[in-house]
Chain A
Amino acid sequence: MKTLALFAFFMIVSGSGYADSSEMVEVPAGEFVMGDNDDGYALPKKTVQLEVFSIDRFEVTNEEFARLFPEHTFWKDSQTQPATSMTWHQAKTYCKQIGKRLPTEEEWEKSARGTDARLYPWGNKPLRKKPHPFYSGIIKRRVGLNKKDNSPYGACDMAGSVWEWTVGSENGKKVTRGGLWNHHLDYEYGKTFDRNLIAPSERFIFLGFRCAKSKN
């Protein structure tokens, strides 16, 4: 009976009910260190002041995205995995329709990094040297499954899972942030300051989003 109860408890904890992108974490107003001077692809290091804002604890899931975009298809049993393969405009529309917005690049980085300029959301050391060595594709998992990939404010999956759209723009492309646990052969992209530039019309299997909201 005890075993059964434990099993039931485990199923509830690990079940699909865990992910809820409406759940947000609040990031207090104040300064933080943005960018990195040693990484040529990151923005130069600078101190940035932000107002208080909230950001989704999890990336938007397949199930949630499909409620507003019924044409969004996904594999059976992957309802709670991050939704991907949407354009930047679709991501923006989704956030707007639920009363939120896409985060700015600055908001995204502060949410992942906190105020101590850490390299990863959990600290300064990678969790593993080769997360999924040599696999050439993306392995999606339920959002929030990795309990160690938590930022100082409690936002999940900001170093792993999938890349995320932001409102940031550069040279006609949109800035994406985040990383992949299993990006091919290397780990560089899991850092809090790593950024990508992707055309807003593109859809990729490795690219999703989360929403943010201003306090005022």
Chain B
Amino acid sequence: MRKIEKLTRRLFLKGGLWTALLLLWHGFRGPTKSWAQETDPFSGTDFVGKTREGKHHSFYINFWKPMRRINAETWTLKISGLCEIPKTFTLTELRDLPTRSQSSRLKCVECWSARAEWGGFSVRELEQMVRPHASALGVVFHCGDEYKEYLSREALNHDRVLLVHSMNGEPLSDAHGFPLRLIAPTKYGYKNPKAILEMEYVDEQQSGTWSKIGPYSPDSTILPGTDHPLEYGKNPRRIPGGEITDY
């Protein structure tokens, strides 16, 4: 009985020492996925979320989870994963990249669509600086609302795909994905992630948030069918598939 008690005490001391060392090490290292050790990209307690009200009746808004507004001063775009030169970019640096403008329609898988003039830069501009490995097949986008989406590099380097920071001549609003979102006009809206925090180069195809839980195709090419454009009173129109260019 005495022996067991001593052993227990010794074990307890040993265990305590290991725990203390582990905590100390973990404290230095910091949590693996938290903004505690990095700059908090969010600000205040004001949230943006799904809405079709007010000015958004002509361009609906959807978010995976309500999201605190992003702070332009502290936000950076992190490029990580399979690339030679992982980097972070400030918003000013991204706005200084060669910008182009395009008018394209965002087609939601829930039937509606709306057109806007988007301003931004091609993924190629970033890839010249971070140099993805040959094994990098695609990018996982990590967003401020905890949404994740995957696009292949082939899809991302399509001529009509843009990383955009302006919409209709104005900086992106919080609701439309400030400070940076993807516009891929041949894909349904869920493949156009908003409020991007990080782009991670990966070597295998992955399913995004919606494709994992619902009947949403991981490819998400807009199929031939019927569209209900908001600016035309949702009156149904036939679409041939791919980018909607007729109206």
Q: Does B169 sit within 8 A of A, measured CB to CB?
A: no
- Asked if residues B226 and A185 are in contact (CB atoms below 8 Å), the reply is yes
Q: How many residues of B contact A (CB 8 A)?
A: 18
Which residues of A34-88 are within 8 A (CB) of B? Answer: 41
| A136 touching B240 in the complex, CB below 8 Å, given contacts A185-B226, A188-B226 | no
- Asked if residues A183 and B221 are in contact (CB atoms below 8 Å), the reply is no
Which residues of B193-247 are within 8 A (CB) of A? Answer: 215-221, 223-226, 238, 240-242
- Asked if residues A186 and B109 are in contact (CB atoms below 8 Å), the reply is no
Q: Does B188 sit within 8 A of A, measured CB to CB?
A: yes
- Asked if residues B240 and A135 are in contact (CB atoms below 8 Å), the reply is no
CA distance A18 to B227 in the complex (A): 37
In the complex, which residues of chain B have a beta carbon less than 8 angstroms from the beta carbon of A184?
109, 223, 225
Among the stretches A101-109, A119-127, A198-206, the one at the interface with B is A198-206
CB distance from B221 to the nearest CB of A (A): 5
Q: How many residues of A contact B (CB 8 A)?
A: 23
Q: Mark A147-173, 1 if CB is under 8 A from B, else 0.
A: 000000000000000010000000000
- Asked if residues A136 and B224 are in contact (CB atoms below 8 Å), the reply is no
CA distance A205 to B188 in the complex (A): 14
CA distance A37 to B219 in the complex (A): 35
Q: Could you list 18 further interchain pairs (A-B, Cβ under 8 angstroms) beyond the known A136-B109, A136-B215, A202-B242?
A: A41-B238, A137-B221, A137-B223, A138-B217, A138-B219, A138-B223, A163-B224, A180-B224, A183-B225, A185-B225, A185-B226, A186-B226, A196-B241, A198-B241, A198-B242, A204-B241, A205-B219, A206-B223
Among all A-B residue pairs, the 10 with the closest Cβ atoms = A137-B217, A196-B240, A135-B215, A184-B225, A136-B109, A136-B217, A184-B223, A134-B215, A136-B216, A183-B225
